[in-house]
Structure 1
């Protein structure tokens, strides 16, 4: 993404120079006791809601010293309706599921059924990746640490947007997804390897991922309101998804509801282990308490061992580094790392553990500050990433007793700058199409089935006087294909919730033989990994 933060970014926000003008009102209240902390966080959340008036709903939870300090809903479940969100409203938490999947594996590690550093092939004999060495040596730890060598979001088109593939088919196609980086050489966020981790859970336990999560985690922790996404059948309990679908591009224009159920836009059966949990502020407070207590349940028994708890938070790969915080950048980390299902970094001199999550029409964040024995979560039913940034850093500062930096003003500044750049880019994209040259060949010459080794078939056909493009495994990615510039065409998907793409054909002896793709919008979500497709005419 350009200035806009990725909706699923696990990175914690840094500050900017414009934020030092004044001490915000919410920072005036002491937060030394639970009531003061709850009051201060509540006041700040309400200020954020006022600063982002189109935001439909938020769910907030704060825990400290093993107690829930705050669990509350704000706003409405669906824009234009009166049904208000509360502490029992379900939100899709997306990639915050990853630390639940890691915990499921920790339980199996404690039972001696799995080892963190055992090759995945020990548990999945047919597991295969494009690189034979990585195939043989990739471990369970690698799968949970985003360090197997895949590029950002590699393979996500196998299940994002909603796909017709099964979990087994996703694992099978992983063998053909291109590997861009060296093994364990660098961090790139990868949902695909969490799908693999889910398959390990199923192979070792004999249960589906959903059944194990339900019986071995949710039931024991007492998370009675939490459900795996595939089992969500009560839209009335849910904060329904909202977003900006243009014009001119996705993430631009007015905020609108984009579905009347979460699963309509996000049925992640195939990738449940990477992002398939829906929960409430009340229930996630229980989960944060468990993680801060290193696996100790309310009755004093353990969900997983202390050793497993600490191993899950041991850094495995560097996400990023910097010279550290400054007056203008107070939140900047010296080192950001990824452990297993959580990011671990320094923040204002303290250890901070966090993760983000993003689904169509929703984003979330979990933040733990073990040194203060405090944690908080933010759930949203819209895609306002700069609002999430303000909330994450602002609530963290409240919990740490830090004052003097206005995260709302700074995030609004970044939002305005990003919107200006995005709208200018949209104008430039349309202008280039108007000025573009005609395709060198008649449209019929581009018609055919185009095959990518990992995605499968994309069909170009004639429809009326133009062309039509069909991602055969992805029902939402079907639409008009327009001439753009020479051998480059662009899609116009009727479902405006989806991201359009450019497709560029390469000619050989005057005939289209291969094609590549990339997203149209500069703000495209990284899971639309069009750029990894290498299409050849069948």
Structure 2
């Protein structure tokens, strides 16, 4: 970062990683370089040290950088308390999620932040954000608070102000989750993607055929992928999500639900589920 330090041209770069903080600053005009390394995570020490050294070397009026840091930390804690109190005041008790917990299971994708894997296990919701495992607890409505889980499976008892706000579409189904990942920024939206279910060639073959009067819809295989076509439209690739249901890969809100009769290998009918309704077509061959 190129900036001015109390009237002196400065080039500085700092960084943090678990257990370490560092800062490298150069004053090209003054021919000074300062490197500070600490074994503390997200520490203020590098800034305090390089600022204090720079003041002395550049013969500037002394500033109590340590005192400023202590004051800033105290103010941050007070803001955190105020935020927590506000959250407690907005916590609505005695509410329930709008869906069974298993309906929140799935993949949630954001182009910038990647994929969050939310899973339903043993009557609880868990999430994987990168390498971090989280337990989701119901807070109110469709909002869930989070607790970290370490490698040994121990749940962090400390409260987090980060919450998952699940979003439902007009059809009532979960379509995303909103998470305020960065302070001062709008919450990031992660779009819902149901898990794909891998099927055998025999299972896929059981859905193929012609459905509806005059062969309205044709369902067929290309390799291990099920396609559907209707007159006057392009063919549509589908993705199996289990329970005899296939989503259209590139058409949001559209899916196929096949029906099978007991003792019959081939599907007897298919329902086209789309935003304007559900349309059932009976197998013709």
TM-score, length-scaled by structure 1: 0.31
Aligned: 1:480 with 2:135 = yes
Q: Quick check: 1:481–1:491 contact (8 Å CA) kept in 2? A: yes
Distance 1:510 1:352, change over 3 A: same
Report the equivalent of 2:165.
504
Aligned: 1:537 with 2:199 = no
Distance 1:418 1:436, change over 3 A: farther
**Bigger Rg, structure 1 or 2:** 2
Aligned: 1:345 with 2:29 = no
Q: Quick check: 1:487–1:504 contact (8 Å CA) kept in 2? A: yes
Deviation at 1:410, TM superposition (A): 1.8
Q: Quick check: 1:352–1:367 contact (8 Å CA) kept in 2? A: yes
Question: How far, CA to CA, are the matches of 1:460 and 1:409 in structure 2?
Answer: 44
Distance 1:383 1:534, change over 3 A: same
Report the equivalent of 1:303.
none
Distance 1:533 1:361, change over 3 A: farther
Write out aligned runs for 1:39-188 (5 A): none
SS of 1:489's partner is strand
Aligned: 1:389 with 2:61 = no
Report the equivalent of 2:109.
451
Deviation at 1:533, TM superposition (A): 4.6
Question: How far, CA to CA, are the matches of 1:522 and 1:443 in structure 2?
Answer: 28
Deviation at 1:434, TM superposition (A): 6.6
Q: Quick check: 1:439–1:487 contact (8 Å CA) kept in 2? A: yes
Q: Quick check: 1:425–1:522 contact (8 Å CA) kept in 2? A: no
Aligned: 1:405 with 2:60 = no
Q: Quick check: 2:55–2:62 contact (8 Å CA) kept in 1? A: no
Write out aligned runs for 1:263-342 (5 A): none
Paired positions, count: 186
Structure that is richer in strand per residue: 2
Q: Quick check: 1:502–1:518 contact (8 Å CA) kept in 2? A: yes
Deviation at 1:382, TM superposition (A): 0.9
SS of 1:371's partner is coil
Aligned: 1:373 with 2:31 = yes
Distance 1:389 1:440, change over 3 A: same
SS of 1:421's partner is helix
Question: How far, CA to CA, are the matches of 2:114 and 2:63 in structure 1?
Answer: 50
Deviation at 1:418, TM superposition (A): 1.3
Question: How far, CA to CA, are the matches of 1:364 and 1:409 in structure 2?
Answer: 20
SS of 1:493's partner is strand
Query: 1:118-157, CA deviations, whole angstroms, 9 ceiling, x for partnerless residues?
Result: xxxxxxxxxxxxxxxxxxxxxxxxxxxxxxxxxxxxxxxx
Query: 1:403-449, CA deviations, whole angstroms, 9 ceiling, x for partnerless residues?
Result: 33222222211121112222443454456457473222222222233
Report the equivalent of 1:515.
177
Compare relative contact order (CA 8 Å, sep 6+) and give the higher one, 1 or 2. Answer: 1
Q: Quick check: 2:101–2:123 contact (8 Å CA) kept in 1? A: no
Report the equivalent of 1:339.
none
SS of 1:363's partner is strand
Report the equivalent of 1:460.
118
Q: Quick check: 1:366–1:377 contact (8 Å CA) kept in 2? A: yes
Question: How far, CA to CA, are the matches of 2:32 and 2:94 in structure 1?
Answer: 56
Q: Quick check: 1:361–1:381 contact (8 Å CA) kept in 2? A: yes
Deviation at 1:377, TM superposition (A): 0.9
Q: Quick check: 1:361–1:382 contact (8 Å CA) kept in 2? A: yes
TM-score, length-scaled by structure 2: 0.56
Question: How far, CA to CA, are the matches of 2:84 and 2:178 in structure 1?
Answer: 21
Deviation at 1:389, TM superposition (A): 2.9
Query: 1:488-533, CA deviations, whole angstroms, 9 ceiling, x for partnerless residues?
Result: 2122121359x884222221222212222223x969xxxxx99445
Match of 1:437 among 95, 106, 113: 95
Uncovered stretches (5+) of structure 2, i.e. residues with no partner = 151-155, 195-285
Aligned: 1:355 with 2:7 = no
SS of 2:62's partner is coil
Report the equivalent of 1:493.
148
Report the equivalent of 2:269.
none
Question: How far, CA to CA, are the matches of 1:490 and 1:358 in structure 2?
Answer: 26
Q: Quick check: 2:168–2:175 contact (8 Å CA) kept in 1? A: yes
